[in-house]
Structure 1
Amino acid sequence: MSLKTLGAKIFAKKIYNKIQKWANNPVGTQEKVFRELILKAENTSFGKDHHFSEITNYQDFIKNVPVRDYEALKPYIARIVEGEENVLWEGKPLYFAKTSGTTSGVKNIPLTAESLKFQIQAARDAILCYIHETGNGKFVDGKWIFLQGSPVLKEKNGVKIGRLSGIVAHYVPSYLLKNRMPSWNTNCIDDWETKVDAIVEETLTENMTVISGIPSWVQMYFEKLQKRTGKKVGEIFKNFDLFIYGGVNFEPYKKKFENLIGKKVDSIELFPASEGFFAFQDSQKEKGMLLLLNSGIFYEFIKADEFFGENPQRITLKDVETGVNYVMIISTNAGLWSYNLGDTVQFTSTQPYRVIVSGRIKHFISAFGEHVIAKEVEQAIKEAMAGSIVSVNEFTVAPQITPPEGGLPYHEWFIEFENEPENMDDFASKIDQSLQKQNTYYYDLIQGKVLQKLKIRKVKNGGFAGYMKSVGKLGGQNKVQRLSNDRKIAEVLLKFNTS
């Protein structure tokens, strides 16, 4: 065992014990975070507008601070972008994380010194929890790769602007600098395909032990490695044994990854966003990710099926239940207040509090009142593939309200297969049966002859990458939207279909 590995194990135990202290006192920890946030922002413009000095408890907070999305908070953020201080948080943010929104176009999410500290810390702690539980620390001696956006930043009124992954690239701990791949120059390449080609060349002869990124873009990297060498990734990188990912559900990619790698590797799931780092997988044995309660973020939750009603009930951690689909609302030490992140979560455990990401509140299909969510379609395709040779590269689902061929409307699944099913109708039926089992509204619509069984439209190999490129979202932190309540994505994908 190397000194570096031994040091990692000792540090991992220390951090694990520290995490247990707040994880075992969840409600008290959140109450402390709430008080600290209110006190710190009392004299900001937002704090004065919303009478923070009069807030003594959570009920006062609900009365004074409505739930907002980015569009509603934008007037405050615009003032910060123009150089004003003490607007949402003390002073000025260190950065704006630039991200794209479905309704707001480009979003500038403030990152403060306090919030950035926890972003970096959470990524570190996820790895340390893994080391503590498994005892596997030998990967610290090898090379690590993080497939991320360019670290080149712009600046406006003294605040630097860039993609979150590019900003974080400036904060790689000194003890990891020698391990980190790719090189700075390669990381600065904007064109994603050119960048991945350069990463392949740089890493091909290295001792890669940890690979991290959004699964769809790591898959592209693996495919290019395989095409270049004719070998499985596990043969090229014999010591690769840890995959770290976030942003999407890994299940639809799992079979393809196992085939590309050629061996089993452990994985760690993360739940990061420009707005904060919310959870990470703290155990290889338990389902879900540990919700980070001591990271300067105060959480509220609203049941997803009540969210669009009048005055939906806002609750805190102590009142959540397992298995319920909640919209997650956050208040943070970057100055986001009762902010609708847009993600929906379900709790898998309340001792400690662990969550899975179930989808996006704006990404669903309810063209006929069925309210199908991402978790349901991902579970359905997983069940349909189980025990078969079928593997899927990517997919998305849209409603077909007025079928050109006539007949009842249906859900149209655009799927890019790695290995196709022998019988496409049978595969579609398996997906449909799983959806009916999971979603009673969908079941009633099918049984009541309001909808017909879903239909699959095959997308040619590389079609989804082509689609993402055509809309300017190839690579980086961009992800394929699983569900749409309209046909905007579907209409573009028709150019890449084969059936």
Structure 2
Amino acid sequence: MSLLSAVAKLVAKWTVKCRKKWENNPVETQDATLRHLINVGRNTEFGKDHDFDSIRTYEDFKKRVPVKDYEGLRSYVEKIREGKEDVLWKGKPKYFAKTSGTTSGVKYIPITKDSIHNHINSARNALLSYIAETGNAEFLKGKLIFLSGSPVMSKSKGIFTGRLSGISNHHVPDYLKRSQLPSYETNCIEDWEQKVDAIVEETKDADMRLVSGIPPWVQMYFDRLSKAKGNDAKIKDIFPNLSVFVWGGVNFEPYKAKLFESIGKNIDSIELYPASEGFLAYQDTRSEEGLLLLLNEGIFYEFIPAEEFFDENPTRLSIGQVELGKNYALVLSSNAGLWGYSIGDTVKFVSKSPYRVVVSGRIKHFISAFGEHVIGEEVEKAVRHACEICSEVEITEFTVAPNVTPKEGLPLHEWYFEFETEPNDIKRFEKLIDDKLRQLNPYYEDLVGGKILRPLKVMSLKKDAFRSYMKSIGKLGGQNKVPRLSNDRKIADALAESVVLEKN
């Protein structure tokens, strides 16, 4: 056993011991978090606007601070971007994490000196929890690869702005940096295909022991690696000591079988729940379902029953009031300067001792198979734009879904249209939609431009295809609507037999 592995096991044991203290006192931990947030926040512009001086209890907090999405904080964020201090949190943020929201387009999420530790420490503690439970610290003896966005950032008014994964890359601990791949120079490559090829060259002969990244990105890396070593090469033969896969951000299930087939064996996996708004949970054990909700990281959580979320006065619950098996919209207040902030996710508790959750979905329909966060408004605008130019087009209905594993070529979005009158030139129609969507959504633009996704594909359906589908699921007529977009292929697969024309 190496010295690093031996030390890691001792630190892991100590970390779990510390974790148990707040795990066993969840309500008290969250109460203390809220008190601290209010105490610091009372001297900010937001705190003064919302009379933080009068807040004594959680009930007071709910009365003073309404639930909001990014639009509700946008005016405050813009003041920070203009250089103003003490707006949402003391001083100015250290970073803005630039992200594409499911409701507000491009968002600039503050990361403060106080909150950056949440993003870094939580990822570290996830690995330490794994070591404590399994005893496997041998992966620290070899190379570790973190497939992430570019660490290149811009700077304005003293605040750095970049992708969350790139920001986190600047804070990898020194003891891991020595083993980290790819190199900083390679990580800065913007074009994803070029970047993957460069990563393959850097890593193909390395003693890789841990791989971390979003599953479809990792799969592309494995495919290129296998090709570089010989088309039949399995990852286990290239990296015989590979033992850990760390992932988060998307549903793993669509990718799991192919990923492990590429590896040639099953290996341990660790699920994380990171978001620009905070590192919220991680898999703390292999024996129980769900992710440990991090209650001691400067984040105060609230939970709204999902069915009430769009009500005028929805029920707001703190950690001690939740029930198992119920869908809740997740709301955060934090030392990043977020207050009553809905991140759009829904979670379901699978344990209350300790509090563990599974991410059950999103409040609104969306597509984010690769992190693109395409929302209904963007889809509608893109179609409307195309129809204004192709004025002959009449649409009966349409829906959009991702195709993660097409029979050939890169993944893509498939748009299923039932036309009353088809476009004269369907390829032009496709391109108009694709160009507009790329304009509206910077993450989709990055993915298509970086050749992670190929441009969308329009599928023309038989007459009455949607009517037949809605009838088949018992939702024909009334107020029932076909979702404009889905993050899975349930509707798309049901419509596939009605496709009469495919253009690309």
Which bracket does the TM-score occupy, shorter chain normalised?
Answer: 0.7 to 0.9
In structure 1, runs of 5+ residues without a counterpart are: 366-373, 379-393, 400-407, 418-457
Q: Counterparts in 2 of 1:261-280, with a 5 A limit?
A: 261-280=263-282
Answer whether contact 1:65 1:338 (CA < 8 A) is retained. yes
1:416–1:120 distance in 2 versus 1, CA, 3 Å: closer
1:497–1:80 distance in 2 versus 1, CA, 3 Å: farther
Answer whether contact 2:15 2:128 (CA < 8 A) is retained. yes
Amino acid of the structure 2 residue aligned with 1:168: S
Instruction: Give aligned-pair identity as a percent.
Output: 52
Residue number in structure 2 paired with 1:442: none
Q: CA shift at 1:251, angstroms?
A: 1.4
Q: Counterparts in 2 of 1:140-155, with a 5 A limit?
A: 140-155=140-155
Q: CA shift at 1:102, angstroms?
A: 3.2
Residue number in structure 1 paired with 2:324: 322
Give the one of 473, 480, 486 matched to 2:446. Answer: 473
Q: Counterparts in 2 of 1:420-435, with a 5 A limit?
A: none
Residue number in structure 1 paired with 2:294: 292
Residue number in structure 2 paired with 1:232: 234
Once residues 77 and 414 of structure 1 are traced to their aligned partners in structure 2, the CA distance between those partners, rounded to angstroms, is 32
Q: CA shift at 1:498, angstroms?
A: 7.8
Question: Aligned to 1:474, what secondary structure does the other structure show?
Answer: helix
Answer whether contact 2:94 2:159 (CA < 8 A) is retained. yes
Q: CA shift at 1:485, angstroms?
A: 3.1
Answer whether contact 2:88 2:338 (CA < 8 A) is retained. yes
Once residues 219 and 275 of structure 2 are traced to their aligned partners in structure 1, the CA distance between those partners, rounded to angstroms, is 21
Answer whether contact 2:149 2:165 (CA < 8 A) is retained. yes
Q: CA shift at 1:459, angstroms?
A: 6.7
Question: Aligned to 1:473, what secondary structure does the other structure show?
Answer: helix
Residue number in structure 2 paired with 1:108: 108
2:483 matches 1:485: yes
Once residues 135 and 497 of structure 1 are traced to their aligned partners in structure 2, the CA distance between those partners, rounded to angstroms, is 52
Residue number in structure 2 paired with 1:462: 410
Once residues 132 and 52 of structure 2 are traced to their aligned partners in structure 1, the CA distance between those partners, rounded to angstroms, is 41
Q: Counterparts in 2 of 1:248-267, with a 5 A limit?
A: 248-267=250-269
Give the one of 325, 331, 342 matched to 2:344. Answer: 342
Question: Aligned to 2:99, what secondary structure does the other structure show?
Answer: strand
1:321–1:411 distance in 2 versus 1, CA, 3 Å: farther
Q: Counterparts in 2 of 1:364-383, with a 5 A limit?
A: none
Residue number in structure 1 paired with 2:124: 124
> Per-residue displacement from partner, 1:1-25 (whole Å, max 9, x unpaired)?
1111101000000000000000010
Once residues 402 and 55 of structure 2 are traced to their aligned partners in structure 1, the CA distance between those partners, rounded to angstroms, is 49
Amino acid of the structure 1 residue aligned with 2:483: N
Amino acid of the structure 1 residue aligned with 2:298: G
Q: Counterparts in 2 of 1:59-78, with a 5 A limit?
A: 59-78=59-78
Once residues 333 and 102 of structure 1 are traced to their aligned partners in structure 2, the CA distance between those partners, rounded to angstroms, is 23
Residue number in structure 1 paired with 2:34: 34
Question: Aligned to 1:334, what secondary structure does the other structure show?
Answer: coil
Q: CA shift at 1:193, angstroms?
A: 1.1
1:314–1:262 distance in 2 versus 1, CA, 3 Å: same
Residue number in structure 1 paired with 2:90: 90
Answer whether contact 2:102 2:375 (CA < 8 A) is retained. no
Amino acid of the structure 2 residue aligned with 1:48: K
Q: CA shift at 1:111, angstroms?
A: 0.5
Q: Which runs of 4+ in 1 moved over 4 A?
A: 396-399, 408-414, 465-470, 487-491, 496-499
Once residues 79 and 402 of structure 2 are traced to their aligned partners in structure 1, the CA distance between those partners, rounded to angstroms, is 42
**Count of aligned residue pairs for this structure pair:** 420
Amino acid of the structure 2 residue aligned with 1:321: E
Once residues 29 and 2 of structure 2 are traced to their aligned partners in structure 1, the CA distance between those partners, rounded to angstroms, is 37
Answer whether contact 1:327 1:340 (CA < 8 A) is retained. yes
Question: Aligned to 1:78, what secondary structure does the other structure show?
Answer: helix
TM-score (norm 2): 0.77
Residue number in structure 1 paired with 2:311: 309
1:104–1:239 distance in 2 versus 1, CA, 3 Å: same
Once residues 112 and 407 of structure 2 are traced to their aligned partners in structure 1, the CA distance between those partners, rounded to angstroms, is 42
1:498–1:295 distance in 2 versus 1, CA, 3 Å: same
Once residues 256 and 239 of structure 2 are traced to their aligned partners in structure 1, the CA distance between those partners, rounded to angstroms, is 19
Once residues 459 and 261 of structure 1 are traced to their aligned partners in structure 2, the CA distance between those partners, rounded to angstroms, is 20
Q: CA shift at 1:416, angstroms?
A: 4.6
Once residues 407 and 221 of structure 2 are traced to their aligned partners in structure 1, the CA distance between those partners, rounded to angstroms, is 20
Amino acid of the structure 2 residue aligned with 1:33: T
Q: CA shift at 1:234, angstroms?
A: 1.2
Residue number in structure 2 paired with 1:80: 80
Once residues 119 and 413 of structure 1 are traced to their aligned partners in structure 2, the CA distance between those partners, rounded to angstroms, is 31
Residue number in structure 1 paired with 2:138: 138
Once residues 326 and 479 of structure 1 are traced to their aligned partners in structure 2, the CA distance between those partners, rounded to angstroms, is 32
> Per-residue displacement from partner, 1:54-109 (whole Å, max 9, x unpaired)?
00001100110000100111000000000000000000111111111233221111
Amino acid of the structure 2 residue aligned with 1:486: R
Residue number in structure 1 paired with 2:222: 222
> Per-residue displacement from partner, 1:325-352 (whole Å, max 9, x unpaired)?
1100000001000000111111110110
1:144–1:414 distance in 2 versus 1, CA, 3 Å: closer
Question: Aligned to 2:32, what secondary structure does the other structure show?
Answer: helix
1:185–1:19 distance in 2 versus 1, CA, 3 Å: same
Q: CA shift at 1:409, angstroms?
A: 8.2
Amino acid of the structure 2 residue aligned with 1:236: I
Residue number in structure 1 paired with 2:213: 213
Amino acid of the structure 2 residue aligned with 1:485: P
In structure 2, runs of 5+ residues without a counterpart are: 380-395, 415-433, 439-443, 455-481
Answer whether contact 1:16 1:132 (CA < 8 A) is retained. yes
